Structure 1
Amino acid sequence: MRKYLDANIICDTKSMSKEKWLKKRKEGIGGSDAASVLGLNPYKSSMSVYMNIKNDLVIDEEINYKMDLGNKLEDFVANEFTLKTGKKVRNVNGILKNDKYPFALANIDRAVVGEKAFLECKVTNSYSKKLWQKEVPIYIQVQCYHYMAVTGATHCYIAALIGNEELVIHKLDREEVLINEIMNLEKMFWDKCILGEELPIPDGSDDYSSVLQGLYKDSIEEEVILFEKEDLLKRYDDVRELVKDLDSERKAIEQYLQMQMKDYEVAYLGDRKITWKKQVRNTVDTKRLKKEHPEIVEKYMKTTISRVFRI
């Protein structure tokens, strides 16, 4: 079996189909899943990871144009990294696994030749420029520490192409305490949620709400006493008031900007673009339709069932 540092290369990905690769990823927690499991990924929830691994029938990874473009630009970013640093990199072309962490998988972008290190290639938009110039976003850091755990690498490099205008390079050194904490949390998720019957901890995501609606779509007309701490609802009330206040502030800022724009459709403030365009939308007058042609309404009526939650 081929190896990369401390990890075994359990399968070759060079000629593997996308479908087979996605199925193979279901056998463990990948680097891009790690931050989601910890609740630190703003783009993907822990429930999304849970459903993707647990669902044997459907692979819900949608390869959109942005992701496809990022994959195509990976070679360019790796070459630019070599030109800027003089460090050579190579493809590993395999899914990595370490016996120490049987629940974890790794797919590194490149191995750095002559070092116990790997390279991660990222492509992002210009809105992330200030953050990337300062540091590596936390969810990418977690991904890299996950890879360090699986591979045994002592450090890694992250090269990010920002808005097709700048290449930013960062180095992350191995942090043993942090890595242990990350892998312990991943193991807990794997044991309790994937191997066990527990759902992930609620995270406020739409994914989580959809799963709950699916699991408990049928209700019984009975009552139940909850033995939760009552300060949970007090916090709920506080959050609702906070959201209401923040929403009012957001609307006030929007109104101020609209007042400055007047009749103009597009405005610029610093490097931000603001639009306030006229939009025409045609809708069916359902009230009139029901009154004048009730038979048509009846013919095309669609019934949906959902549960409404109120406190």
Structure 2
Amino acid sequence: MKKNLKYKAANGLEMDLDYKPVVFCDDITTLTNEEWLELRRTGIGGSEYGIINGISNFKTARDLYMDKLGYTPYWMLEDNWFTLEFGHANEELVAKAFYERTGFKPYAVRKMFRHPKYYWMIADVDYFVDIKDSEGTVRTYILEIKTTSYQNRFDWGDDFAPKIPAGYILQGRSYACVTNVYGIIYACLYDNNINSLIIRTLERDLDQEAEIIESGRHFWQDYVEKGIEPPYVEVGENAKKSARKWIAPNIHKSVLEIDGKDEVINGDTTEGTYDELIDKIDNLNEKIKKLNSEKKDCEKEIKRLQSIIEFNIGEERDCIISLNKRQKDIGISFDERKSESVPVDKIRDLKKLDKELYEYLLAISFIKIKTTKNVKFYDKVKS
């Protein structure tokens, strides 16, 4: 970034762009996994901004809060460990594929960085890459290495409409903010050949960075530093799995805060948003079950009526039964087919009587003549 610059973001944050990141670990390769996790607990890493903004598929803000304070879950429900390990194991291979495709050689800096002003922002970057622009100025980018499955490759769009998954955008922009580089390049491999490498580029957006800074400040200063558990704002299976992790065996909690204002009173099904929703779901399921049963009865009755109608009409007529929803009557129409044909022996006699006419009829494949007309059989049949 250029020196001696300041920027006022859309959210009012005054940003100083003349800075260098603080290095608070010179070589992360010398750390044990536990030591690395302890350093990560001193701030918010790039991959964690998707969590605190509620767009992670694996963790909630409550999970992240508990981890930052060093709590161990009562129940281990992590189900994405293989995906994470697979991505780490293939980082070097994907970086090599990027070099083969672009000619730009990435380099690893195995340090851990912290923003000099926003101390809760930390970065543990995969690779950096230096690229000259059209004017010959060298620009430093972060190179983020990703892997995905063949089925999920369209999360990155295509050549005509490129995309970057939202969580990765937050991650890349937070890293760029910490390290003060020019932009972010993503290299994502979705198959086992170099042609499946997806490359996307993202330049700095200071307004978005200001929003990321604020979301991190809110989480860190209002929850982590104060020791206040963030409320569950996530929905669905993710929130349910999270809640299960932190339920202590044989410990009953009388009041559970849901979103900062609603409370669930355990053991009392007449109070609390959660219990009301459960009761509503149960009632709706009962109604659905009853309606499905009534629907099946109606379908059986329609088939019974249809069989009676078809029997009375006769086999030579194709009937169509329709329900008039407005008048609640059943209307029936059918096609009545009449056929006129000439027996084969008569055609042979025709050949003897008039050979020229016979050859003409043969040329037009004359065998028999069909006539079809639509007749309204019943206007209405009262059900």
* 1:115 Cα deviation after fit: 2.1
1:181 aligned residue: 211
CA distance 1:56–1:88, shift in 2 (3 Å) = same
* 1:192 Cα deviation after fit: 1.3
Q: Is residue 125 of structure 2 the alignment partner of residue 101 of structure 1?
A: no
Q: Using the alignment, how far apart are the partners of 1:157 and 1:178 within structure 2? A: 17
1:206 aligned residue: 240
Q: What SS does structure 1 have at the residue aligned with 2:152?
A: helix
2:166 aligned residue: 138
Residue of 69, 74, 80 corresponding to 1:54: 69
**Which amino acid in 2 is paired with 1:164?**
N
1:9 aligned residue: 23
Q: What SS does structure 1 have at the residue aligned with 2:154?
A: helix
* 1:72 Cα deviation after fit: 1.8
1:115 aligned residue: 139
1:129 aligned residue: 153
CA distance 1:116–1:55, shift in 2 (3 Å) = same
Q: Is residue 107 of structure 2 the alignment partner of residue 90 of structure 1?
A: yes
Q: Is residue 159 of structure 2 the alignment partner of residue 154 of structure 1?
A: no
More helix by share: 1
**Which amino acid in 2 is paired with 1:28?**
G
* 1:89 Cα deviation after fit: 1.3
For each residue in 1:234-267, what CA deviation from the matched residue of structure 2 results, as whole angstroms up to 9, or x when unmatched? Answer: x9589959x97xx99xxxxxxxxxxxxxxxxxxx
Residue of 86, 89, 93 corresponding to 1:69: 86
- Show the 5 A alignment for 1:253-264: none
**Which amino acid in 2 is paired with 1:144?**
G
Q: Using the alignment, how far apart are the partners of 2:41 and 2:28 within structure 1? A: 15
1:168 aligned residue: 198
Runs of 4+ in structure 1 over 3 Å off: 60-66, 211-217, 226-230, 235-241
For each residue in 1:170-225, what CA deviation from the matched residue of structure 2 results, as whole angstroms up to 9, or x when unmatched? Answer: 0011111111011101110001111013221312313542366449933569xxxx
Structure 1 unmatched runs, 5+: 249-311
Q: Using the alignment, how far apart are the partners of 2:155 and 2:254 within structure 1? A: 49
Q: What SS does structure 2 have at the residue aligned with 1:96?
A: strand
Q: Is residue 45 of structure 2 the alignment partner of residue 30 of structure 1?
A: yes
Q: What SS does structure 2 have at the residue aligned with 1:10?
A: strand
Identity of aligned residues (%): 23
Q: Using the alignment, how far apart are the partners of 2:115 and 2:45 within structure 1? A: 12
CA distance 1:227–1:220, shift in 2 (3 Å) = closer
Structure 2 unmatched runs, 5+: 1-18, 131-137, 264-270, 290-383
Q: Using the alignment, how far apart are the partners of 1:49 and 1:220 within structure 2? A: 24
Q: Using the alignment, how far apart are the partners of 1:200 and 1:36 within structure 2? A: 12
- Show the 5 A alignment for 1:230-309: 236=277, 240=281
1:218 aligned residue: 252
Q: What SS does structure 1 have at the residue aligned with 2:121?
A: strand
Q: Is contact 1:28–1:103 with CA below 8 Å preserved after alignment?
A: yes
Q: What SS does structure 2 have at the residue aligned with 1:40?
A: coil
Q: Using the alignment, how far apart are the partners of 2:248 and 2:154 within structure 1? A: 40
Q: With the length of structure 2 as denominator, give the TM-score of the two structures.
A: 0.54
Q: Using the alignment, how far apart are the partners of 2:49 and 2:262 within structure 1? A: 30
2:338 aligned residue: none
For each residue in 1:131-155, what CA deviation from the matched residue of structure 2 results, as whole angstroms up to 9, or x when unmatched? Answer: 2133111011110011111111221
CA distance 1:20–1:170, shift in 2 (3 Å) = same
**Which amino acid in 2 is paired with 1:143?**
Q
CA distance 1:46–1:220, shift in 2 (3 Å) = closer
CA distance 1:46–1:212, shift in 2 (3 Å) = same
**Which amino acid in 2 is paired with 1:86?**
G
Q: Using the alignment, how far apart are the partners of 2:224 and 2:231 within structure 1? A: 13
Q: Using the alignment, how far apart are the partners of 2:111 and 2:247 within structure 1? A: 38
Aligned residues, how many? 237
Q: What SS does structure 1 have at the residue aligned with 2:35?
A: helix
* 1:67 Cα deviation after fit: 2.3
Does 1 or 2 have the higher relative contact order (CA < 8 Å, sep 6+)?
Answer: 1
Q: Using the alignment, how far apart are the partners of 2:246 and 2:71 within structure 1? A: 19
